[in-house]
Structure 1
Amino acid sequence: MSVAVFDLDGTLVASLEDLVASLNAVLESEGCVPVEPSSMRGHVGFGARVLIQKGLEANGRPWTAPDIEARLPRFLDHYERTFTTHTRPFEGALAALDRLRSNGWRLAICTNKSTRLTLPLLEELDLRDLFDAVVAGDTFENAKPHGEPVLGAIQLAGGTVQGSVMIGDTRTDIDAARAAGIPAIAVTFGYSPVPVAELGADGVIGHFDQLDAALSGLSSP
């Protein structure tokens, strides 16, 4: 059984605004100037710690690893309260998931977001029941770009490695697919800090309406 394994932030859902709003809540509590979401777009895929780091750097504030860790609980507390204020599935995502299911695919999520944040977010957006498996960044010992969570998602979804595919928006997703031995499709509308054409994916889509054709192309000579 083939499994379509999806990344979450920047692939299935547009979460930039809510993530940056939580960052700005931390910054403003310390008298810093808030940052524009567009300036953080390429950093979202690297997690909350990097966002906090970049927010401090944008304000000319020095930082150390302990400084970042001290601010992390405030970021997470704010994000947990507000994470669906603006976050929604990307255009065409739900229809694409329905088409995949109708065509016999199993569906899984493989994200580096923590379970603490992933499951409530999916529930709030009425997405949880669409997936046969949900793997978060702390589900297994290793997170992406290691292949373990991708392989784990396929197994938990009741599928086979052969015929499965990863859909993501950053090098982390493409490298994880490579490590798991499956092809990868990159989306152009996500949060990659470099053009997705440079990631070496097996297919690239600019809208979920193009996913079916991209999947079919994976089996073409």
Structure 2
Amino acid sequence: MNGMDYKYLLFDLDGTLVDSVADLTLSLNLLAKELGYQQLKPDRVRDMIGDGATKLIKRAYGEENYKREYLFRFLEIYAEHLLDHTDCYPGIRELLVRYPAEQLAVVTNKPYQLTIELLAGLNILDKFKVVIGGDSFSEKKPHPLPLQEALKALGAKAKEAVMIGDHHTDLNSGRAAGTAICFCSYGLGNTGGVEPDFLAKNSEELLQLFPG
């Protein structure tokens, strides 16, 4: 299987295109301070990311302690610190310029508005024809719906596309939608036992896998 066989690239965001652990950790810890909870270390936060903001809050402070207002407050804090330290992984900007925007999409479980603000702040929003967040539809990854909607918006067939991500939610979503799947082992998650079609051990390997 050759990466050049795929015309359309669908990307996860956190742990795939951008390293956001520092800002997520900072925001969780600022809220933890407000709530009187223990501070979290970045390595622990890394393991919590990938299933959307609600799951992140439940994992950070305990599911039994979850309150919806915690989520809203976290999103307020995170919006203020979205771009303090977050940046693209090495090689990502070079990869994006090799493809026209009409062939690229972001499909993330991060809330849509924060996704738009982050991409715009990094000056890469215009690289993607389609951006789908975790709250864009009734389902989020690992459900295939977000990818199916992205393919529809791109005018792409599933067999022409590859889902690129660092978490088993990405891989399962891609498999269910019928795309090829690429696992980014440099990111935050794990395969969950899913066998990917492509493996990128560091972000710059994506340039070799999908040269455009």
TM normalised by structure 2 equals 0.88
Query: Alignment partner of 1:151: what SS?
Result: helix
1:201 aligns with 2:196: yes
Q: Structure 2: which 5+ residue stretches go unaligned?
A: 1-5
- Alignment partners' CA distance in 2, 1:54 and 1:72: 12
Matches within 5 A, 1:1-221: 2-57=7-62, 63-64=64-65, 67-101=66-100, 106-192=103-189, 194=190, 196=191, 198-215=193-210
Residue by residue over 1:55-114, the C-alpha shift from the partner in whole angstroms, topping out at 9 and shown as x without a partner, is 325xxxx834xx33231111010001110101101111111112234xx97111111111
Residue by residue over 1:23-59, the C-alpha shift from the partner in whole angstroms, topping out at 9 and shown as x without a partner, is 10111112333111111211111233333333325xx
- Alignment partners' CA distance in 2, 1:8 and 1:161: 20
Larger Rg: 1
**Alpha carbons of structure 1 residues 197 and 98: separation in structure 2 relative to 1, 3 Å:** farther
Query: Alignment partner of 1:108: what SS?
Result: strand
Q: Structure 1: which 5+ residue stretches go unaligned?
A: 217-221
- Alignment partners' CA distance in 1, 2:105 and 2:195: 22
TM normalised by structure 1 equals 0.85
Aligned-partner residue type, residue 26 of structure 2: A
- Alignment partners' CA distance in 1, 2:35 and 2:84: 23
Aligned-partner residue type, residue 168 of structure 2: R
Q: Is the 8 A contact 1:197 1:204 kept in 2?
A: no
Q: Is the 8 A contact 1:13 1:89 kept in 2?
A: yes
CA RMSD of aligned residues (A): 2.1
Q: Is the 8 A contact 2:9 2:162 kept in 1?
A: yes
Q: Is the 8 A contact 2:102 2:128 kept in 1?
A: no
Q: Name the count of aligned residue pairs.
A: 206
